[in-house]
Chain A
Amino acid sequence: MRLAAKTRIQPSPKAAREDVIVFLVGGFRFAISAAAVKEIRGMEGLHPFTLGGISGQIAKLKYTLERGGTTYFVVDAAQHFQLLPSRASRVLILRNSPAAVLVDSTDRIMEISALHALPRAFTHEERGWYRGLAVMNGTVVPVVNHHAFLNKAELEVLRAGLERVRGEVMA
């Protein structure tokens, strides 16, 4: 006799208070954990990213930014979320990461009290883009997965490209 597989009901949202920074890209509102952001700044000091061969492989990588002796790779959030080009005006420098994110504007810091899992009906790239969904004053706002702006594979491509360029310079 076969037993029917148990079917579980979708879980309730995780109750977890967290400060998030709300930002806008292409007319959409997003949130990112405030703990993941080291600094919010303007567009000054950005240098176009033109590392031979890599620019084409990671098209969303637009600029680099030198800050306190560290090079940050600046990802265009509109391109990351596959939106139409938008008018970026702010850069979110991520903490413990070589990535920074180009966004249209930042809105405010808010506290969310629950993080809803992204419904399983969403099956494509967005499963990597978002940690979950928050409801802010009745509006659903995706909370981004900041590790996805430059994922491990993309960082590896960058690392290999930089080593290659360093090798060429040394030679």
Chain B
Amino acid sequence: MTANADKSYVLFPLGKKRFALPAEVVTELARPDSVQTFPHQTPLLSGVLVRRGRIVPVCDVAQVLVGPAAPPRKFYLIANCKRESLQELTAVPVTGECELASAPFAPLTGREPQYISGLLAIGEETIEIVVLEKLVSAEVPA
């Protein structure tokens, strides 16, 4: 199976692993900014950023994708996330520079979590394509 040549992905690092988001949902890669916090009970959310007058929730998906040992996050990948028929910007902290790429698909094993929609094969590396909507509601492993 090969990826559509027009389909691009933003590859983002979380520690030693890289993951992919469809490029069409990514709006920008932002420099570190001060995350502002207030009391809440939603898992994964570490606070909000103010970007161009909008309030953007920060969803620390590293806890789900690589566990608590992820190195400090350096940038925010800001992407559109669909919630109840509404597009909402969400900031995903990442640990390094991102890359735009198109690559052939690797076959799914069938054991992937629900938030993985496909695999990209880039050289020796297999990169999981994440579905942000499903990832942000995933449970944090104990």
Contacts and interface: CB of A to CB of B under 8 A. Distances in A.
Contacts of A135: 50, 53, 55
A122 B88 contact: no
Interface string A126-168: 1001000101001111100000000000000000000000000
Interface string B121-137: 00000000000000011
Main secondary structure of the interface of A (DSSP, over half): loop
Interface residues of B, number: 28
B42 A7 contact: no
Nearest to A133: B55
Given A135-B50, A135-B55, A138-B50, A123 B42 contact: yes
Contacts, number: 80
A8 B136 contact: no
Contact of A81 (B39, B48, B85): B39
A28 B57 contact: no
B50 to A, nearest CB: 6
Given A7-B82, A119-B55, A133-B55, A140 B36 contact: yes
Nearest to A134: B55
Contacts of A129: 39
Contacts of B40: 122, 124-126
Contact of A120 (B36, B50, B88): B88
Interface of B: 36-42, 45, 48, 50, 53-57, 59, 81-90, 136-137
28 contacts: A6-B85, A7-B82, A7-B86, A7-B87, A10-B54, A10-B86, A13-B53, A26-B39, A30-B38, A82-B39, A83-B39, A119-B48, A119-B57, A119-B88, A120-B83, A121-B42, A122-B45, A122-B57, A124-B40, A124-B42, A126-B41, A126-B42, A129-B39, A133-B38, A133-B48, A140-B36, A140-B50, A141-B38
